[in-house]
Amino acid sequence: MERGSREYALWSIGLLLVLLFALIPVLWIISLSLKTPATITEGTSFWDRFIPQDVTFDNYTTLFEGGLDDSPFIAPLINSILIALITTVIAIVLAAFAAYAIARLDFPGKALILAGALAIAMFPAISTVGPLFDMWRALGLYDTYPGLIIPYLTFSLPLAIYTLVAFFREIPWDLEYAAAVDGATPFQAFRKVIVPLAAPGVFTAAILVFIFAWNDFLFAISLTSSDASRTVPAALAFFTGESQFTQPTGNIAAAAVIVTVPIIIFVLFFQRRIVAGLTAGAVKG
């Protein structure tokens, strides 16, 4: 066998194993979501349990039953989407300005800002939850959108700033000088030259922030109390079965599948924009 194709085969097998390892939990939860409550624990062999005996979409439909008022899922889903999107937009705008200043300017306290941002990102979230609970109740932010968006911003901004600083630093200074002599104001240079070139960085940071906000459970469970702002990860914990004695396993699995979908769409959508080497050809390397 040729060395090339042999290597190719080995790589393929390795890749397949990693894929299986990563995807089996996902497949399992999809399988769970398609089972009826009665058959969830049925089956003795692996395949019997893995492949649903009679496929049903009841778990999905019941999630949406009752519309916005009665469904335990629709309101949290809307909350999740809005809170994650608002957090992402605010974080990216703020981080872009901050990162640009950090990458380009020498100002007093620059090192302090970077160190502070890093320290905040490293700070254990759990130790802020208690004080936040008290503060938010006093300020009237408890169980509101801002009540979640503010802590999300606090923890995701350092990450976004660090990512964007790295990307801005890659952009040659001369491009800005060129824009300046071409007649651009500093803001025009930033908007028309720097931001388009940093687009891969902007989208990377956006994905990171979005996933952080979307996945958070700790703040969501601690700082919300109703459908007014409760997000999906927290709402799942409040799902109930049809009766006191049935577990809502199927519904939880179905909800978990549904909340995975936006992340996949988000990543696939932006991934196409994250084209490496976009800055190629700007300056002679």
Partner 1 sequence: MAEIVLDGVSKRFPDGFEAVKDMDLEINDGEFMILVGPSGCGKSTALRMIAGLEDITEGELRIGDRVVNELAPKDRDIAMVFQNYALYPHMTVRENMAFPLKLADVPKEETDRKVEEAARILDLQQHLDRRPANLSGGQRQRVAMGRAIVRDPSAFLMDEPLSNLDAKLRVQMRTEVARIQSNLGTTTVYVTHDQTEAMTLGDRVAVMRTGVLQQVGSPGELYSDPANLFVAGFIGSPAMNFMPARIESGRVKLPIGDLPVPSGAGATDGGAVIAGIRPESFEDASLVGPDVRSRGSTFRTKIDLVESMGSENYAYFQVESEGMQSQQLDELAQDAGTAEVPSSGEGQVVARLDATSQIQRGDETELWVDATKLHLFDPQSGQSLGAARQPVAAGAA
Q: Which residues of the shown chain bind partner 1 in the complex (CB under 8 A)?
A: 172, 174-175, 177-185, 188, 192-193, 196-197, 277-284
At closest approach, how far in Å is the CB of 273 from partner 1? 12
Shortest reach from residue 113's CB to partner 1, in Å: 20
Residue number with CB closer to partner 1 (8 or 177):
177
Give 10 or 283: the residue with its C-beta nearer to partner 1.
283
Per the document, the length of the chain is 285
Q: Which is nearer to partner 1, 81 or 175 (CB)?
A: 175
Nearer to partner 1, 167 or 266 (CB): 167
Which three-class secondary structure state does DSSP give residue 247?
coil
Cβ of residue 192: shortest distance to partner 1, in angstroms?
8
Which helix (DSSP H) or strand (DSSP E) does residue 120 occupy?
Answer: helix 110-122
Contacts by 251-255, CB closer than 8 A, 24 or more apart: 251/59, 251/62, 251/63, 253/29, 253/30, 253/32, 253/33, 253/59, 254/33, 254/59, 254/60, 254/63, 255/63, 255/73
What is the phi/psi pair of residue 124, to 5°? Answer: -65, 125
Are 36 and 58 spatial neighbours (Cβ–Cβ below 8 Å)? yes
Residue 91 CB, shortest distance to partner 1, in Å, is: 24
Q: Distances from the Cα of 259 to the Cαs of 75, 156, 232, 250, 268, in angstroms?
A: 13, 20, 8, 14, 15
Q: d(Cα 192, Cα 184) in Å, to the nearest integer?
A: 9
Closer CB to partner 1, residue 34 or residue 193? Answer: 193
Kindly state the smallest distance separating residue 282's Cβ from partner 1, in Å: 4
Q: Which is nearer to partner 1, 129 or 184 (CB)?
A: 184
Residue 110 CB, nearest distance to partner 1 (Å)? 15
